[in-house]
Structure 1
Amino acid sequence: MKIIITLFLLISGILFSQNQRFVYEYSFKMDTLNKDKAEKEIMNLDITKEGSYFYSALLITRDSLLNAEVEKGKASNSVNIDFRKIKHPKVNFRVSKTYPGLETIYHTSLNASNVAVKEPDKINWTILPETKSIEVFKAQKATTYFGGRNWIAWFTHEIQIQDGPYKFCGLPGLILQIEDEEGTHIFNLAGSMKLKDGFSLIDAKTAEILLTKEKFNKLWNEYLQDPAKNIKLMHSSSGMSETILFDSNTGNPLTKQELIRNKETRAKEFLKRFNNFIEKDLYK
């Protein structure tokens, strides 16, 4: 995956700019049956004086394409969106932090619901004397144990922002690189750009259910036991009892039992392979 972006141009501008986007390449190995295969996603860390927002860059592209299709449909009085033409993110989580306290919230979806999980603990770092150069910056090493993994980070004092990718923050400078000791989740800073004045953090205005980590883990395990639960509940309602759904590949109608069985089979096959989450403790 390649991105074309102005890389580390103005250190002083980065230091004092209130609205800044740092772009990271995220390499991850979620498929435990194919550990040599690494997926990649470009992630944005948008920073304002109020806080930061970390998310897949494809969310911006996807939303722009969807809005364009909707506007096109309005002009022709017919909205027909072909979702196959729209590239969807591989990463479905987002992380928001508020300044100056660095309150951190994990946003994702679980069993068809949008959920938000507040991180209750601060990350405890061990800062080491070891340094190295990353692009034009002098970086210093730090380590931590977080989410069931040991992590190695490289941060720079030259960018006085105590933030970084995902939930990682609290070091005396921006995190340029961080990876777990197994090398299955790796974040590398790839570039930066100044955001326009008046820029505000992306905030999906979708209603979310606020959960503790313990409650999220309980619901996650309930989902593993019954991944089609939401479909069963939906079809038990009077409003859906007479609804006819069709197979997207064959065009043939599906019975409720076939729909549930297909959902269960797809979910179990997916989860059997893609289960190497960043936070082992959250998805245990």
Structure 2
Amino acid sequence: MKYFFIFLFSNLIFSQKADGYIDYQYIHKVDLVDKAKIRKAQFRIFFTPSKTFAYDLNKYNRSLEIAKQLGDQNPEFKNEKNQIKPNDFIIIDLQKQIYNSFEYKNSSYLVKDTVLQDWTILEDKKLVLNYSCQKAITTFRGRDYEAWFTSDIPVPFGPWKFNGLPGAILSVVDKTGDVEFSAIKINTAQVDNIIEEPLYYEEVTKEKLAEINDNYTSQINTNFMVTKNGEQYAPVPKIKKKINNPIELQ
């Protein structure tokens, strides 16, 4: 049985205005044996003093391009504010509520994750994108991280699930060098939040979401047909390889 929940506008809907945004480069060596296998992504976080909203820039740009190509033929991709629904995102509020969203056939699935890093702030300082930053270290989900944060941007947020320092986190690297987040652009002027949160969603566990993803992939492999030389056939299913160096080791 499905249970759908509604975001309460009073405390969970992200403000239409944000105090600014930070763009990050994400680099992840996903294979312990073959270090040349690297996952790269760029994503943006909108921030206010109490909440941050992160989304994948490449996925957003692809959605925007599709909307542009389809025009008014498919209004689901946009509304009068030109907002785009992302395929996934992370929301963090001061109560440390993290939500991951996955869009599947017009349904939104969210995973609630409560995290709080135990930071040790050190005296080391350096410049990151011309912002004076201070060093902090923590152990999170099986990895030891070094972070650099700036009190010049007084919000307790950073990339991915990192939060809880007295300033925006501009850089995070784990001690092995396998995972790295680096700020590449900072905007501290108030901007519009262009990402639209779903009003209705089903809250699921991480395990359930993985099952939904596996079933979705299986349906594509089963139902997808290829036409070649006038004949249709089902292609050989792609086997999804499990990475042996995930970002969360625990």
Q: Is TM more than 0.5 here?
A: yes
CA RMSD, Structure 1 to Structure 2 (Å): 3.6
1:49-60 alignment to 2 at 5 Å? Answer: 51-60=51-60
Give the aligned partner of residue 198 of structure 2.
Answer: 205
Distance in 1 (alpha carbons) for counterparts of 2:154 and 2:61: 30
Which entry has the higher C-alpha Rg, 1 or 2? 1
Structure having the larger proportion of residues in helix: 1
Contact residue 19 and residue 196 of structure 1 kept, 8 A: yes
1:30-41 alignment to 2 at 5 Å? Answer: 30-41=30-41
1:101-140 alignment to 2 at 5 Å? Answer: 101-108=95-102, 114-140=108-134
* Secondary structure at the counterpart of residue 63 of structure 2: helix
Structure having the larger proportion of residues in strand: 2
Q: Give the TM-score normalised by structure 1.
A: 0.65
The answer to which of 143-152 and 47-56 deviates more is 47-56
The number of residue pairs the alignment matches comes to 223
Distance in 2 (alpha carbons) for counterparts of 1:73 and 1:219: 31
Q: Give the TM-score normalised by structure 2.
A: 0.72
Q: Residues 192 and 250 (structure 1 numbering): CA distance in 2 closer, same or farther, change over 3 Å?
A: farther
Distance in 2 (alpha carbons) for counterparts of 1:63 and 1:118: 25
1:127-276 alignment to 2 at 5 Å? Answer: 127-194=121-188, 199-200=192-193, 202-205=195-198, 207-211=200-204, 215-217=205-207, 220=210, 227=214, 231=218, 245-247=224-226, 252-254=231-233, 262-263=236-237, 266=238, 268=239, 270-272=240-242, 274-276=243-245
Partner amino acid for 1:44?
Answer: R
What percentage of aligned pairs have identical amino acids?
24
Contact residue 114 and residue 206 of structure 1 kept, 8 A: no
Aligned match for 1:96, one of 88, 91, 95: 91
Gaps of at least 5 residues in structure 2 are: 1-16, 75-86
Q: Residues 26 and 251 (structure 1 numbering): CA distance in 2 closer, same or farther, change over 3 Å?
A: farther
